Amino acid sequence: MSLAGQIDGISAAADAAPPASWHAEQTKLSRITGAPMELFLDAGDERSLTTQLYDQIRRAITDGRLPAGARLQPSRAVAQALGIARSTVTDAYARLTAEGYAEGRRGGGSVVLGHDAPQPELPEAPTALAPTARAATVRRYGVGLESHPRYDLTAGRVDPRLFPLADWRRCTNRALTSLARDFGHYSDPAGSIELRRTLTHWVARSRGIATTADQIVVTHGAGHATDLLARVLLRPGDVAAVEEPGYPPITGLLRSQGIEVVGVPVDEHGMVVDALPDAARLVHVTPSHQYPLGAVLSRQRRLALLRWAGRRGAAVIEDDYDSEFRYLNRPLEPLHLLDRDGVVVYVGTFSKMLSPALRIGFAVVPPGLVPAITALRQAVDFGVPPVTSQTLRTFIEDGHLDRHLRRARKVYARRYRALRTAVSSLPDSGFTPLPGQAGLHMTLLAPDEPDDGELDVRSTRQGLQLSSLRRTYQHSPPRAGLVLGFGAIPTPDIPDAIKLLTSLYR
């Protein structure tokens, strides 16, 4: 049998006027000081009730859950909540004070002490559980990156200063008001019907894709969409094909499901369709702007890929990565627009258009897959938070997204040109820029030395943060190079940042 209580910092005035019920006290404590800390008393424990309280509070102090300066909850409130004598609580507080964990202050109750309190070593947490061999093979991508380096050339980052915060805040406030009556309900696992209708118009005018709201599933991004599709389409042991080099997290999530992942080489025309394995049941491709080499999948290859998938009944996930930002040629039709067999799933995300922090994207799914995907989605996480969905819907319908993209395209186009100019001025020392016409990164082949570890050390010393090309290879010997992102770096800083590259390879 255990009884629950709370302890956190509140004013001493609460002791003089305890609330009428425990639930009212809990609400008040949470409002004043944030999340409460639970206390447990076990009638079957050999220790006295005083010792049980003392041990739990001391442990909360030593491991930082009760920081220095926090007030202990008044003894009367603790006693009332736990149904014990007040003297039991005051005895525990007295012991904490005697041993230097807290001190009593006149008119201020008991307060946790800081650095002078003893800090015994905590035992390591038990580790009886371990991941499966499959799960253990998955590695985080981009570990160790700084948030604000002096020169940020990290691939995949956008400029947070471009985010239209005022417009987004207004749309969020409207969403909160309109959804107030629905806060007691779970959201539709496919996403709100209002947002899905808005997205049908968005993809029709931005990418020429005709679809219905019933075919759209709102996701937490492109990787999430790929995960859902693989779960409903593939079984452990099935084969999936990905671009090589490519985006490592896609390979990791597929392998975590027991899927055999095969890398397909990429050249200047995109994925080499003739190299696709016959056994592949799913192909993941970034045709608009291949990551990381920057190639655009040619029209001939697009048609060849669709013929290949149609003959085999294989699925094609079209991750329309970076299609919003193009600087030279006109965009080619999406695979989805050319698809006549219903094998393509179009996947989009607002991570580059707006912000990766929003964690929102969508997939245009063949009708036959919708029931399975939405049922799985409900089992996993019940869908996108309604406030985010409603905010994005209003943001798009009020024209804010279009205005933001016009502004962002101008800014990123200037950075693209500045990076091209700066790279072209590098001395002839083994650097080879790859052709790139879109997106927020440019790939630069570089000398084999130094290796990635030493390159990280040297670039950090210069205040420069880069993405390595080698780390995008998962299935074949890697090529040395850099994936230079220009989304997060101010345009005037680009020439100085690129000049530093030569010093990294001496």
Q: Where are the domains of the chain?
A: 2-112, 151-158+403-504, 165-399
Distance CA 407, CA 439 (A): 15
Instruction: Indicate the CATH number for domain 2-112.
Output: 1.10.10.10
pLDDT greater than 90 at residue 371: yes
Distance CA 444, CA 292 (A): 10
The residues, any chain, with a CB within 8 Å of residue 94's CB and separated by 6 or more, are none
Residue-level pLDDT at 121: 61
pLDDT greater than 50 at residue 62: yes
DSSP category for residue 112: E
DSSP SS3 for 362: strand
> Which percentage of the chain shows pLDDT scores above 70?
89
pLDDT greater than 50 at residue 241: yes
Q: Position of tokens 């009428």?
A: 20
Residue 301 token pair: 């290859």
The helix/strand count (H/E) of the chain reads as: 18, 18
337: left (phi over 0), alpha (psi -120 to 50) or beta: alpha
Average pLDDT of 476-480?
93
The candidate with the shortest Cα–Cα distance to 418, out of 331, 330, 502, 489, is 489
pLDDT band at 501 (very low <50, low <70, confident <90, very high): confident
The candidate with the shortest Cα–Cα distance to 223, out of 286, 159, 147, is 286
pLDDT greater than 60 at residue 35: no
Instruction: Indicate the CATH number for domain 151-158+403-504.
Output: 3.90.1150.10
Burial 98-115, CB ≥16 within 10 A → b, else e: eeebbeeeeeebbbbbee
Amino acid letter, 297: L
Question: pLDDT tens-digit profile of 410-462?
Answer: 999 999 999 999 998 888 778 899 988 888 999 999 998 899 899 999 999 99
Q: Position of tokens 């440019």?
A: 442
Residue-level pLDDT at 37: 61
List the alpha helices (DSSP H) in 274-369: 299-312, 335-338
What mean pLDDT value characterizes the chain?
A: 86
Average pLDDT of 491-506?
90
Instruction: Indicate the CATH number for domain 165-399.
Output: 3.40.640.10
DSSP category for residue 48: -
Q: Do the Cβ atoms of 437 and 443 come closer than 8 Å? A: no
pLDDT greater than 50 at residue 295: yes
Residue 56 token pair: 């739990």
Average pLDDT of 336-346?
94
Average pLDDT of 401-408?
95
pTM attached to this predicted model: 0.81
> Which percentage of the chain shows pLDDT scores above 90?
60
Q: Reduced to 3 DSSP states, what percent helix, strand and coil does the chain have, rounded to the nearest 5?
A: 40, 15, 40
